[in-house]
Chains A and B, each alone.
Chain A
Amino acid sequence: EPEVTQTPSHQVTQMGQEVILRCVPISNHLYFYWYRQILGQKVEFLVSFYNNEISEKSEIFDDQFSVERPDGSNFTLKIRSTKLEDSAMYFCASSERGKHGYTFGSGTRLTVV
């Protein structure tokens, strides 16, 4: 069964550093998403991406965040200057055109120290 692949599974970074979280969505999917889950809390939407541009973003997705699909297969989330409160599990997801189904990756646990 096709999978969404995320790397790394765990990243520790110092406050103020830039991080890039990587995702490889399912190959025939056209919609891509990032969500985050702070430990013990609900899963929150960050951003959706379609046709090489952001289609929607939440209030959390401020100027410190950016997304890119640099080569037609990877989908990346960059946090420019990490804060302690960015520590969370970040999930990538993708979905197919015209179908109600979202496949999630297994997540990247980001720890900012």
Chain B
Amino acid sequence: GNSVTQMEGPVTLSEEAFLTINCTYTATGYPSLFWYVQYPGEGLQLLLKATKADDKGSNKGFEATYRKETTSFHLEKGSVQVSDSAVYFCALSNSYGNKLVFGAGTILRVKS
């Protein structure tokens, strides 16, 4: 079946540090890949997505590239801020209208 594996957290960084959160997946076919962010006490917000191999999703300084050869979709940001502190979820979907399969989530804490 489909699954998503994320690096375990929490990840604690100082402001302006470089961020990488690893995500790998197992899926049949060619899934679409997503990063969602959950700020404290809030719901899930789509951060970025990529729908085919070698696509790069980007938003708010975050980037992730769909790597089919390594089945990965790692999240990166060059310089994190305290306001980026949240839980980040990697997810996949096999087709339009199909369910999302989530990773376990990675807590990011950014200290000033």
Contacts and interface: CB of A to CB of B under 8 A. Distances in A.
A98 interface: yes
B102 A56 contact: no
Interface string B40-75: 001111100101000000000000000000000000
B32 interface: yes
Nearest to B45: A104
B58 to A, nearest CB: 15
A106 B46 contact: no
Interface residues of B, number: 23
A55 B43 contact: no
Given A43-B91, A100-B32, A107-B43, 8 more contacts: A42-B102, A42-B104, A48-B99, A50-B97, A91-B44, A100-B34, A100-B51, A104-B43
21 contacts: A31-B96, A33-B99, A41-B104, A42-B102, A42-B103, A43-B102, A45-B99, A45-B100, A45-B101, A48-B98, A56-B98, A91-B44, A98-B96, A99-B96, A100-B32, A100-B49, A101-B46, A101-B49, A105-B43, A106-B43, A107-B43
